[in-house]
Chains A and B, each alone.
Chain A
Amino acid sequence: ETGVTQSPTHLIKTRGQQVTLRCSSQSGHNTVSWYQQALGQGPQFIFQYYREEENGRGNFPPRFSGLQFPNYSSELNVNALELDDSALYLCASTSRGSYNSPLHFGNGTRLTVT
């Protein structure tokens, strides 16, 4: 069983730039969620993708967008980066239809915006 994998592990960007983070879901999982974890805080829900469509969104502006592909992998795109976007971005997958199925997380991408 392949777990959730994220790339890259670390990334440094400049304010105003755009970034794309990638996630491969665990085998057998069809739903991907993205979380932002600022230093010293709990993960905050960004959005979730199911069947290649956004299926729930947290309190994040439209410059945070995503995609899900037919193989259930996903991308998180952030435009016009701000300093406060510096955080650990976690991807998690689960199997929709198993409603008590917990999220399985990747190791995250550490984004630093300077």
Chain B
Amino acid sequence: AQTVTQSQPEMSVQEAETVTLSCTYDTSENNYYLFWYKQPPSRQMILVIRQEAYKQQNATENRFSVNFQKAAKSFSLKISDSQLGDTAMYFCAFMKHNNNDMRFGAGTRLTVKP
């Protein structure tokens, strides 16, 4: 079974600074996808960034980037130039290839301080 672990229950960062959220996962699969979702107080899960396991290049979306280490089964999220609106729960998620069943970690609560 696939498991996703987020070891940081809470983190905080000053506005405009950079923060990195950690995620590790366990799988025997070779083809899979990894995601970071953001859940603000509004409750809706919003996709932040995704990574295909077969791609060596780390995904980047504006201020958000990942450090994907396949051998180490690590998938961290870096947020640059943090903004107050980035305050939310962040969930790391894993999905096998050919399978829409997504598994989530327990989440990291990020607070951006002014």
Contact = CB atoms under 8 A, between A and B. Distances in A.
A66 interface: no
Contacts of B107: 40-42
B106 A43 contact: no
Interface residues of B, number: 26
A76 interface: no
A105 B44 contact: yes
B99 A56 contact: yes
Given A43-B45, A92-B45, A31 B100 contact: yes
B33 interface: yes
A107 B101 contact: no
A107 B102 contact: no
Given A102-B47, A105-B45, A108-B43, A42 B100 contact: no
Nearest to A47: B101
A107 B42 contact: yes
Contact of B100 (A35, A90, A94): A94
A45 B47 contact: no
Contacts of A102: 33, 35, 47, 50, 102
Contacts of B44: 105-108
A35 to B, nearest CB: 8
Nearest to A105: B45
Contacts of B46: 105
Contacts of A96: 100
A4 to B, nearest CB: 9
Nearest to A55: B100
Contacts of B104: 35, 42-44
Interface in B29-56: 33, 35, 37, 42-47, 50, 52
